A = this chain, B = another copy of it.
């Protein structure tokens, strides 16, 4: 979903989507050289399959519930809970309810030969 990124100093609404969640898609909120914010929308049963991100992430549950697997450990993330996803650690996220999440990714300096700053 192509939405303009927020500018510095411009508040962005991240309230729960409620009934609108069923038609919503994940979208970027803002991106700078060192931080990226996204709203991730996952409907019940949908997942972000196992993947690793170069930078550190936090995941904040806005609504719903997700199950997070990191290195063989599992946790459930409920509304108004935040969790750290360490850099380079592989993690998977599965929605156990219709959910939206605020993902904050710290973008480390590019490594020589790296084509992407986040993967």
Taking Cβ atoms with an 8 Å cutoff, the residues of A that contact B are 6-16, 29-30, 32, 34-35, 37, 55-56, 58, 60, 68, 70, 73, 75-87, 89, 102, 104, 106, 108-109
Report the Cα distance A10→B77, complex, angstroms.
Answer: 9
- One of B10, B32, B83 near A56 (C-beta < 8 A): B32
A11, B70: Cβ atoms closer than 8 Å: no
Shortest A33–chain B CB gap in Å is: 8
- A76 and B11 CA atoms in complex are apart in Å by 8
Verify A34–B81 contact, CB threshold 8 A. no
**A83 near B11 (CB under 8 angstroms)?**
yes
Asked if A83 and B12 sit within 8 Å, CB to CB, the answer is: yes
